Structures are given as structure tokens and as C-alpha cells.
């Protein structure tokens, strides 16, 4: 019994000793995870101790959700301490490593390493001039061998140099297992790149992915326009503004002058150059609109970032309307209902006047929102010149243009003559009038009537210009329905008619189709009145169109007393049947104003009815013209025609779509045949005829 106990004790000792000697090979800890420019991932680890050469393999597992892992690599080389997985990976990838060993009892696997992930940067550029970075740690709990900080590198432009800009302590991250860092960007707009590194004393370095975006530097804050005045001597505009004191990166300013939706710009360099005189304009002819923008030192297409210029401010444009009738001058100027944001609003308006060669003096202080003023009890024959000045609370002033009003007595014109009335064409009637534009005439009024004795009704009013011939357009006239009598009245500044022109009448053309006679009857009223001898009309010319095209030459010419014409159109049977006409009256020479004008009438269009004549017999080879069977047509559409010939038994023996072709009888014998014709008239109506025709031999 003691021997058996001794034996068993010895056996147990051997087993325990064997296990102590054949210990397992531990799994290494992954110390670094590095991404290269192609997003290839390299894992680095330290070689575990294996004094008894029990190592069989390293198994590396991968997962994209940290739940389900798959074998990524089986490494049989004990001394290998890194592994690179090629390919681009999106999102966070998870890895761990296990050692497979054989301690003499068979294959076994050591406890897996901690799970690691590559550093993935999420770059957010939603806040202008700031890059917000967030990233995951390599592992949940940092290893003592890791560096104490995540190092943040930045590169500006694709060809720039990587620069270490800051670091974040390698401590357990806050809730969400995410590190964050905000990078204020103070450089000009450009592509921007980031990467994050953390070293390990293996030695190796974990490297993040490459995050990139575009940094957009905000343009400067728009300047504030505080004054916009007009130099009364030159009409030039003087603009003054202030910049935001916090905006120090200003290279200069752009002054925008807006004219009819177009922008004209001047550039002023220097942060403290805050006034500009626009010598290219005359603010005395109308309000001038301006905006001011600032630009910084960034090079954007050869220029700096430019602030917005949506704040537009206009000069105060003053207009003076004199009334010699009641010895007053009425002043009107423009002030916005709402002053633009960023523009200092005035608190009062001062009106200044200079009478003749006298001195400038203030005559009224008004509310800042007032836009008119009447200066009364003035002296007849005197000239008064005015300006208005807007004053802000801080004493800054903006002056308008100078506008003058003369209280001259009205004078009647010596020339007021209607030189023609013409229709253009059927859209409106144009009335041309010769004037001399004497002082005192304020405007000209065109009136119209259907009778030379009136009543006359207002058509259009035109202001006085430098032109000696003024032209009115009567857009509401119906020249195809009426012939009108026109007169132009000269209106003085007291709204009194001081002179009237001659009364003239336009030519109205009428017409009608004369039954089945292939004739269009035309008539028109005479033109009146030119100031030449007799009727003033040298003659009339008639113009005609067919197939939609007017002949540039007149169809007929007439004497001054002719007012009717019958147009025989039978020879134009091959047209569409629609004939349009207008008459042109020509003035005689020798008038007192040495003018020789024309007057065009309205245009009328008449449509001749389509006609189809079908012979009942024809004689091929005969001596007459009736040797081919075809219809004789007028005003039939040649592009929509069909004719077929049948025997008495219904057999088709001929057909054509050519209106000008015809059946020559072929080899058929004397006899009766049936025709079937389908045609389209010029008015678009279908004509279908069926009948018998006799072939004679």
C-alpha cells in the first residue's frame, strides 16, 4: 500500500510539473493602428514570450460592428509583429489578435487581446472659419506604453506642409467614447487636411485617416454709409462710410454705382480711406444709387474676399417745378420709407434757396420723412435755386443736387404742325408733329375725334424735349374700323392751351370680294391735310400681298382724287386666295416747312373663294387644249390634292396627287370613265367631287 501511494504521489507531481513547464503563449497586445494615404490599415504588436517554442500562429479577427468578427489573417511566423490589410475602409473597423499554441496536450488558444480600432476623424465645417474634429480612441482603455497625447496635424492646400497645431490628452474620453477639438481658422480660403497621430514606445505610431474639406473665410463686415452728398457746383457724388472696428484685415473698399440694374465699380485701397468722390456722374439728372463693400487681404482670383453690398443708399434727388401762374416753386425729393440697415437715418431736413445772384439761405426745417415743400410769394421773372440737406443725430449731413425754377411768363409756340398720320401697321397710329419748343410750353397733348368738329378726346401727353419733331402713338385706335381726326395742343405751365395744330385725318382702306368675279373692290378716304397747294396729296400707291408676301413695288398708282380701285386677281389662281392691301399717300412738294412725308393706311386682307371646274370630256391628241383631263382650279392648296380615274366596273386606272398633272387617257379606248377628286381650299375646307368624263378618240 505505501508503494502504491508513493507511486500515485509521484505521478501527480510529474503532471503538475509538466503543466508548469509547458505554460501557454499569451496573445500580444496590438499597440498601434495606422492608416496610410490609401486607407490601408497596419496593425503593430510586441512579440509575446515563448520560452518553450509552443507558438503555432497569430489569428487576427476583424469586424465592422464590434459584434460579429471574422478571421482576417492567420500568421504562422512567430517573429512577425505587424500586419497590413489592403483596401479602403469606411467607418470604424474593429480588430483583436489571438495566439494559437501547443503545450504538448494539443492546439489551444490564448486569451484574446483588447479590441482596437483605427482613428477615424469626422470633420465638420458647418461653422464658418472653424473646423470641428471628432475621433474615436484606439482602444477603450489606454495602454501605459501609449503616448500621453493625441497629436493633431494640419495641412493647408494639397501641396502644403503638415504642421503640428495642437494635442489632446490621451485619457478615457467623455461619454460617447469620442474625442473632440475645434480649430479656429484664420487663413484665407483653401483646401484643408487633418490627420491625428499617437505614438507608442514599441516603437510605432497610430495614424488616423486623412480628413479634408475646404475652409471658406468669411468676407469682411460691410461698411456703414453715413453720408452721401452731391457737390452742387459739379453734380459729383461724395460718399462717406465707417468700417466695423473689429474688422482689421481690410485691404480696401469697393464703391458700387448702380445704374438701371447694372453695376459700375471703383476700388479704393487703404483701410482708412473712407471717402470717395464719383466724378463720373451728374446727380442733377437723377438719383444715384451706391453701395460700399470692404475686401480683405486674401487672394481670391487676384482679389480679396469682398463683403456683401446688398445695402444700397441713394442720393437725395431734388426736382423743382415752377408755377408762374401762382408764383410758387414746388420742391419734391426722394427719401426711403425705410432707411437701409447699416445706413444712419437723418432726423431733420433743411431747405436752402438762392434767389438770382443772392446768397444761399435756409428757409425751412422739416421732418426727416418730408419729401416736398412749396416756396410761395415769389417774384415773377426771377430764378430760384434750391438744395436740401439731411442731418443725422451725430451732425453728419447729406446734401441733394441743386435744382432751379424760373418763373418766366408763358409764351405761345409759333410752329405746331401735323406733318403726317400713319398706321404702323394695324398695331397703332403714329402722329408726327413739328414744334418749335418755345419757353413756357410745358407739354403737348394729342386729341382725337371721329369728326373734324369734335368732340375731341385726350390720347397722349408728351413733355417738352429738345426735338423739333415729336411723335405720338395712339395705341387704343382701331384703324381698321375708323378714320380719325387728330389735333395737337400746346399746354403751358399754367395748364392752358396756348396753341393748336392743324387737324389731320388718317387714310382708312376698305374692301370687299365681288362674288364670283375674281375681283377685289377697294376704297379709301382721302388723307388730310398737308399744307401744300390743293389737297396737299401728290397721289396714292396701292401695295398688295399674296401667299403672305408683300410686293415691294406698288400694284397701282392713283391721282390725288382717286379713292377706289377694282383689283382683278383671276391670274393668281395658284395662290392661297388671300390678298392683303394697304394704301400710301404721298405729300406734294412746296409746303412752307419743306417737308414731303407719306401716310400709310391700315392693312386689309380679302380672301377669294376657291373654285373647281371639271370638264366632262377631253380629246387626247386633239388640236385643242383639252387633250388632258384635269380640273381647272383657283385658290386650291397644291399640297393637298388627290385625283383617281376608274373604269365603269370600278377598276382604278390612274391616280395622282399633283394638282398640275392630268390624265392623258393612256391606251384606253373611247368611252366614259369615272373620276374621284379630293382637294383642300385655301381656307382649309375639303372639296370632294365624283363624276363621269368622256374620253374622245
- Alpha-carbon span 98 to 633, nearest angstrom: 104
The pLDDT assigned to 38 comes to 87
Return the percent helix, strand and coil in the chain, to nearest 5.
5, 50, 50
In DSSP terms, 225 is beta-bridged to 241
Is the distance from CB of 280 to CB of 365 less than 8 angstroms? no
Query: What residues contact 418, with CB distance under 8 A and at least 6 apart?
Result: 431, 432, 433, 434, 486, 487, 488, 501, 502, 503, 504
DSSP count for the chain of H helices, then E strands = 1, 54
Alpha helices by DSSP H, listed for 397-531, are: none
Mean pLDDT over 353-370 rounds to 93
The pLDDT assigned to 3 comes to 45
Please choose, from the candidates 21, 351, 82, 302, the residue with its C-alpha nearest in 3D space to the C-alpha of residue 206: 82
Please choose, from the candidates 418, 682, 390, the residue with its C-alpha nearest in 3D space to the C-alpha of residue 546: 682
The pLDDT assigned to 113 comes to 94
Is the distance from CB of 162 to CB of 171 less than 8 angstroms? no
How does residue 532 score in pLDDT terms, banded at 50, 70 and 90? low
- Alpha-carbon span 93 to 91, nearest angstrom: 7
- Alpha-carbon span 542 to 52, nearest angstrom: 124
135 versus 13: the higher-pLDDT residue is 135
- Alpha-carbon span 126 to 130, nearest angstrom: 8
CB half-sphere exposure, 224, CA atoms < 13 A: 13
590 versus 450: the higher-pLDDT residue is 450
The pLDDT assigned to 406 comes to 87
Q: Hey, what's the cell of 552?
A: 415691294
Q: What is the mean pLDDT of the chain?
A: 89
Whose cell is 438719383? That residue is 287
Provide, rounded to the nearest whole percent, the portion of the chain with pLDDT above 70: 94
The pLDDT assigned to 241 comes to 92
Is the distance from CB of 119 to CB of 153 less than 8 angstroms? no
Mean pLDDT over 268-281 rounds to 93
Predicted confidence (pLDDT) per residue in 344-358, tens digit: 888 999 999 999 889
Is the distance from CB of 541 to CB of 552 less than 8 angstroms? no
436 versus 56: the higher-pLDDT residue is 56
- Alpha-carbon span 405 to 324, nearest angstrom: 10
Q: How is residue 284 annotated by DSSP?
A: G
Is the distance from CB of 162 to CB of 154 less than 8 angstroms? yes
Q: Hey, what's the cell of 2?
A: 505505501
Angle at 123 between CA 120 and CA 126, to 5 degrees: 160
Query: What residues contact 478, with CB distance under 8 A and at least 6 apart?
Result: none
- Alpha-carbon span 490 to 292, nearest angstrom: 46
Mean pLDDT over 523-540 rounds to 84
Over 50: is that where the pLDDT of 596 sits? yes
Angle at 612 between CA 611 and CA 617, to 5 degrees: 150
Over 80: is that where the pLDDT of 386 sits? yes
In DSSP terms, 695 is beta-bridged to 618, 671
Over 50: is that where the pLDDT of 238 sits? yes
How many of the other CB atoms lie within 10 Å of CB of 633?
A: 22
pLDDT-wise least confident of 307-316, 372-381, 396-405, 469-478? 307-316
CB half-sphere exposure, 643, CA atoms < 13 A: 22
Provide, rounded to the nearest whole percent, the portion of the chain with pLDDT above 90: 62
Over 60: is that where the pLDDT of 9 sits? no
How does residue 185 score in pLDDT terms, banded at 50, 70 and 90? confident
Over 70: is that where the pLDDT of 22 sits? no
- Strands 617-618, 686-695: pairing is parallel
Over 70: is that where the pLDDT of 360 sits? yes
Query: What residues contact 638, with CB distance under 8 A and at least 6 apart?
Result: 574, 659, 660
How does residue 244 score in pLDDT terms, banded at 50, 70 and 90? confident
Query: What residues contact 186, with CB distance under 8 A and at least 6 apart?
Result: 129
Please choose, from the candidates 674, 694, 677, the residue with its C-alpha nearest in 3D space to the C-alpha of residue 686: 677
Mean pLDDT over 547-570 rounds to 93
- Alpha-carbon span 389 to 6, nearest angstrom: 125
The pLDDT assigned to 298 comes to 85
Is the distance from CB of 506 to CB of 423 less than 8 angstroms? yes
DSSP string of 542-600, one letter each residue: EEEEETTEE-SS-SEEE-TT--EEEEE-GGGTTS-SEEEEEEEEEEPS--TT----EEE
The pLDDT assigned to 682 comes to 75
Rg of the Cα atoms in the chain = 50
Predicted confidence (pLDDT) per residue in 629-640, tens digit: 999 888 888 888
- Alpha-carbon span 7 to 278, nearest angstrom: 118
Predicted confidence (pLDDT) per residue in 479-522, tens digit: 999 999 999 999 987 788 989 999 999 999 999 998 778 899 99
- Alpha-carbon span 112 to 59, nearest angstrom: 9
How does residue 5 score in pLDDT terms, banded at 50, 70 and 90? very low
Please give the model's pTM, rounded to 2 decimal places. Answer: 0.45
How does residue 292 score in pLDDT terms, banded at 50, 70 and 90? very high
How many of the other CB atoms lie within 10 Å of CB of 566?
A: 11
Over 70: is that where the pLDDT of 410 sits? no
User: Which of 94-103, 315-324, 332-341 has the highest mean predicted lDDT (pLDDT)?
Assistant: 94-103
How does residue 561 score in pLDDT terms, banded at 50, 70 and 90? very high
- In order of their start, the domains of the chain are 21-109 (2.60.40.10), 121-215 (2.60.40.10), 224-314 (2.60.40.10), 318-406 (2.60.40.10), 418-505 (2.60.40.10), 509-607 (2.60.40.10), 611-695 (2.60.40.1220)
The pLDDT assigned to 496 comes to 83
Please choose, from the candidates 255, 331, 323, the residue with its C-alpha nearest in 3D space to the C-alpha of residue 289: 255
| Residue 455: cis peptide before it, omega within 30 degrees of 0 | yes
Please choose, from the candidates 359, 432, 362, the residue with its C-alpha nearest in 3D space to the C-alpha of residue 397: 362
Over 80: is that where the pLDDT of 54 sits? yes
Question: Cα dihedral sign for 371, 375, 376, 380?
Answer: negative
Mean pLDDT over 96-106 rounds to 95
Whose cell is 382701331? That residue is 478
The pLDDT assigned to 458 comes to 95
Over 60: is that where the pLDDT of 397 sits? yes
The pLDDT assigned to 1 comes to 42
Over 80: is that where the pLDDT of 409 sits? no
297 versus 440: the higher-pLDDT residue is 297
In DSSP terms, 326 is beta-bridged to none
At 620 the three-state DSSP class reads coil
The pLDDT assigned to 626 comes to 85
Is the distance from CB of 348 to CB of 367 less than 8 angstroms? yes
Is the distance from CB of 168 to CB of 198 less than 8 angstroms? no
Amino acid at each position: 500500500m505505501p508503494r502504491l501511494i508513493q507511486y500515485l504521489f509521484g505521478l501527480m507531481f510529474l503532471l503538475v510539473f509538466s503543466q508548469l513547464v509547458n505554460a501557454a503563449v499569451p496573445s500580444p497586445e496590438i499597440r498601434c493602428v495606422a492608416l496610410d494615404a490609401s486607407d490601408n490599415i497596419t496593425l503593430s504588436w510586441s512579440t509575446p514570450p515563448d520560452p518553450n517554442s509552443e507558438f503555432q500562429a497569430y489569428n487576427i479577427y476583424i469586424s465592422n460592428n464590434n459584434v460579429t468578427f471574422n478571421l482576417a489573417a492567420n500568421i504562422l511566423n512567430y517573429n512577425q509583429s505587424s500586419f497590413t490589410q489592403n483596401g479602403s475602409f469606411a467607418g470604424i473597423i474593429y480588430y483583436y489578435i489571438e495566439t494559437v499554441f501547443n503545450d504538448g496536450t494539443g492546439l489551444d488558444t490564448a486569451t484574446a487581446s483588447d479590441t482596437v480600432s483605427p482613428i477615424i476623424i469626422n470633420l465638420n465645417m458647418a461653422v464658418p472659419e472653424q473646423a470641428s474634429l471628432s475621433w474615436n480612441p484606439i482602444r477603450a482603455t489606454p495602454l501605459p506604453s501609449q503616448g500621453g497625447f493625441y497629436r493633431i496635424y494640419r495641412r493647408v492646400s494639397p501641396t502644403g506642409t503638415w504642421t503640428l497645431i495642437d494635442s489632446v490628452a490621451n485619457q478615457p474620453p467623455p461619454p460617447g467614447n469620442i474625442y473632440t477639438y475645434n480649430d479656429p481658422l484664420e487663413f484665407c480660403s483653401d483646401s484643408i487636411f487633418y490627420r491625428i497621430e499617437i505614438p507608442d514606445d514599441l516603437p510605432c505610431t497610430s495614424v488616423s485617416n486623412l480628413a479634408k474639406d475646404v475652409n471658406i473665410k468669411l468676407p469682411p463686415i460691410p461698411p456703414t454709409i453715413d453720408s452721401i452728398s452731391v457737390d452742387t457746383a459739379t453734380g459729383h457724388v461724395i460718399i462717406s462710410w465707417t468700417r466695423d472696428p473689429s474688422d482689421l484685415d481690410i485691404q480696401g473698399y469697393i464703391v458700387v454705382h448702380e445704374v438701371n440694374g447694372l453695376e459700375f465699380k471703383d476700388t479704393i485701397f487703404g483701410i482708412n480711406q473712407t471717402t470717395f468722390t464719383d466724378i463720373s456722374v451728374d446727380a442733377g439728372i437723377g438719383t444715384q444709387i451706391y453701395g460700399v463693400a470692404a475686401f480683405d487681404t486674401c487672394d481670391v482670383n487676384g482679389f480679396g474676399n469682398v463683403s456683401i453690398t446688398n445695402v444700397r443708399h441713394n442720393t437725395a434727388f431734388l426736382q423743382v417745378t415752377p408755377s408762374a401762374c401762382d408764383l410758387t416753386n414746388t420742391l419734391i425729393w426722394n427719401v426711403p420709407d425705410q432707411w437701409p440697415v447699416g445706413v444712419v437715418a437723418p432726423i431733420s431736413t433743411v431747405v436752402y434757396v438762392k434767389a438770382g445772384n443772392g446768397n444761399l439761405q435756409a428757409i425751412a426745417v422739416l421732418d426727416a420723412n418730408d419729401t416736398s415743400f412749396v416756396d410761395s410769394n415769389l417774384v415773377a421773372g426771377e430764378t430760384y435755386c434750391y438744395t436740401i440737406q439731411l442731418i443725422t443725430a451725430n451732425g453728419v449731413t447729406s446734401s441733394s443736387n441743386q435744382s432751379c425754377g424760373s418763373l418766366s411768363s408763358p409764351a405761345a409756340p409759333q410752329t405746331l404742325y401735323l406733318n403726317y398720320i400713319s398706321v404702323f401697321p394695324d398695331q397703332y397710329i403714329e402722329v408726327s408733329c413739328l414744334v418749335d419748343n418755345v419757353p413756357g410750353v410745358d407739354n403737348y397733348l394729342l386729341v382725337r375725334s371721329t369728326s373734324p368738329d369734335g368732340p375731341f378726346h385726350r390720347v397722349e401727353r408728351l413733355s417738352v424735349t429738345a426735338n423739333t419733331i415729336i411723335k405720338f402713338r395712339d395705341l387704343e385706335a382701331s384703324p381698321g374700323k375708323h378714320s380719325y381726326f387728330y389735333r395737337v395742343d400746346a399746354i403751358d405751365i399754367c395748364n392752358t392751351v396756348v396753341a393748336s395744330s392743324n387737324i389731320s385725318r388718317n387714310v382708312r382702306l376698305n374692301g370687299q370680294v365681288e362674288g364670283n368675279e375674281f375681283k377685289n373692290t377697294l376704297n379709301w378716304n382721302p388723307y388730310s391735310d398737308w399744307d401744300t397747294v390743293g389737297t396737299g396729296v401728290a397721289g396714292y400707291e396701292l401695295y398688295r400681298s399674296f401667299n403672305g408676301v408683300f410686293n415691294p413695288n406698288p400694284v397701282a398708282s392713283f391721282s390725288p382724287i382717286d379713292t377706289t380701285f377694282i383689283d382683278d386677281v383671276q391670274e393668281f389662281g395658284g395662290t392661297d386666295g388671300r390678298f392683303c392691301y394697304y394704301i400710301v399717300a404721298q405729300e406734294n412738294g412746296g409746303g412752307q416747312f419743306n417737308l414731303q412725308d407719306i401716310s400709310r393706311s391700315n392693312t386689309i386682307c380679302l380672301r377669294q373663294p376657291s373654285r373647281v371646274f371639271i370638264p366632262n370630256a377631253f380629246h387626247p391628241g386633239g388640236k385643242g387644249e383639252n387633250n388632258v383631263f384635269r380640273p381647272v382650279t383657283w385658290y386650291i392648296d397644291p399640297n393637298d390634292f388627290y385625283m383617281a380615274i376608274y373604269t365603269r366596273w370600278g377598276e382604278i386606272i390612274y391616280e395622282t396627287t399633283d394638282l398640275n398633272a392630268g390624265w392623258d387617257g393612256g391606251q384606253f379606248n373611247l368611252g366614259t370613265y369615272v373620276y374621284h377628286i379630293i382637294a383642300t381650299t385655301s381656307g382649309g375646307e375639303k372639296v370632294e367631287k365624283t363624276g363621269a368624263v368622256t374620253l374622245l378618240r
